[in-house]
């Protein structure tokens, strides 16, 4: 569009309560199953995008230029390849994460969702949230869930072109819901989710059980959300995360993200629950643990986990 020189976009990070693990199409990031997440309010990414003269893309993260061979810059450039009006049309990408990098929340989902919004703004496409979810998904599967706040359900869809594979907001507010990040290790993970889930689909003997399990868990989670039943929400989220980690462990060669500290945190959650505290956890493809609890229990949770970083998703 004449006169338009830059585009901006923002998006929240999200954490899945019923997980996505496995694709039916590697290129389009089409998942085998649906999934359902909670967005993390103000924690997320902001992206500013400008066409530049080149000779390459320039990618900045939190005001620092990134080497073009860094993982983030390579993924951003590969994603932008899908949208260049002509080959050799370069962009400057200024990305800012409001997810503290050490908080253990994935920033790739919010990063690609914010980049999709920035492209839409730059080119004046005026895309719907559903269309933006489809575009963000091409960068990272879980980015499909980062276009909305609150609870978000990503539909697996069945069309080969993925046009029915997008995420939408679940109509529910839950102001007392809290997510707590326990950062146990911030080293780079041994295997990324793209490679890990591919390996699980190909080699995990009981991957075939997973779609049925997810369908049941999605139904339970949606009922828990509709009825504001926190114990039911916590129970299904924790069980689903453990089932995903069991799939990972049964992959060949095995994928185990948990460290001794992860197992200790899980046991501490179970001990707290034995004593009557309403506390559950979830975990993604890494060793860090995310706690799920109600605002009324925040002091008790902080007493047990002094290093916890608390997020209020509906604040």
Positions that interact with ligand PMV (CB under 6 A): 16, 19-21, 35, 106, 108, 140-142, 193-194, 284-285
Pairing of strands 177-182, 289-294: antiparallel
What is the bridge-based pairing of β-strands 280-282 and 23-25? unpaired
How many C-beta atoms lie closer than 10 Å to residue 186's C-beta? 13
Least Cβ distance, residue 308 to ligand PMV (angstroms): 20
User: Whose Cβ is closer to ligand PMV: residue 106's or residue 135's?
Assistant: 106
Q: Which is nearer to ligand PMV, 140 or 309 (CB)?
A: 140
Q: Are 90 and 124 in contact (CB under 8 A)?
A: no
CB of 136 to ligand PMV, least distance (A): 10
User: CA-to-CA distance for 301 and 281, rounded, in angstroms?
Assistant: 12
Between residues 77 and 200, which has the closer beta carbon with respect to ligand PMV? Answer: 200
> Between 94 and 140, whose beta carbon lies closer to ligand PMV?
140
What is the distance between the alpha carbons of residues 115 and 133, in angstroms, rounded to a whole number?
11
CB of 124 to ligand PMV, least distance (A): 28
DSSP, collapsed to helix, strand or coil, labels residue 247 as helix
Closest to ligand PMV by CB, 16 vs 122, is 16
| Nearest distance from C-beta of residue 35 to ligand PMV, angstroms | 5
Per the CB < 8 A criterion, the answer to whether 287 and 256 are in contact is: no
Residue 276: CB minimum distance to ligand PMV, A: 30
Question: What number of other Cβ atoms are within 10 A of residue 90's Cβ?
Answer: 16
């Amino acid at each position: 569009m004449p006169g338009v020189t830059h585009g901006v976009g923002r998006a929240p990070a999200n954490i899945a309560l019923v997980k996505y693990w496995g694709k039916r199409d590697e290129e389009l990031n089409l998942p085998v199953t649906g999934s359902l997440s909670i967005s993390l309010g103000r924690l997320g990414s902001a992206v500013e995008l400008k066409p530049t003269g080149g000779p390459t893309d320039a990618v900045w993260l939190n005001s620092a230029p990134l080497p073009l061979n860094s993982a983030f810059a390579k993924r951003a450039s590969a994603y932008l390849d899908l949208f260049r009006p002509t080959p050799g049309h370069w962009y400057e990408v200024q990305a800012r994460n409001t997810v503290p990098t050490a908080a253990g929340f994935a920033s790739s989902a919010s990063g690609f969702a914010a980049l999709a919004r920035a492209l839409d703004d730059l080119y004046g496409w005026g895309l719907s949230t559903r269309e933006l979810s489809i575009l963000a998904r091409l960068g990272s599967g879980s980015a499909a869930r980062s276009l909305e706040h609150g609870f978000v359900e990503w539909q697996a869809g069945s069309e080969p072109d993925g046009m029915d594979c997008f995420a939408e907001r679940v109509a529910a507010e839950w102001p007392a819901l809290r997510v707590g990040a326990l950062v146990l290790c911030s080293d780079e993970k041994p295997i990324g989710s793209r490679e890990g889930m591919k390996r699980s689909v190909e080699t995990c003997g009981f991957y075939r059980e997973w779609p049925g399990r997810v369908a049941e868990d999605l139904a339970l989670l949606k009922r828990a959300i509709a009825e504001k039943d926190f114990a039911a929400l916590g129970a299904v989220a924790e069980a689903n995360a453990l089932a995903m980690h069991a799939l990972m462990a049964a992959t060949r060669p095995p994928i185990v993200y948990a460290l001794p500290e992860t197992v200790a945190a899980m046991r501490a959650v179970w001990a707290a629950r034995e004593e009557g505290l309403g506390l559950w956890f979830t975990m993604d493809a890494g060793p860090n643990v995310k706690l799920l609890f109600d605002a009324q229990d925040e002091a008790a949770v902080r007493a047990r986990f002094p290093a916890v970083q608390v997020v209020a998703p509906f604040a």
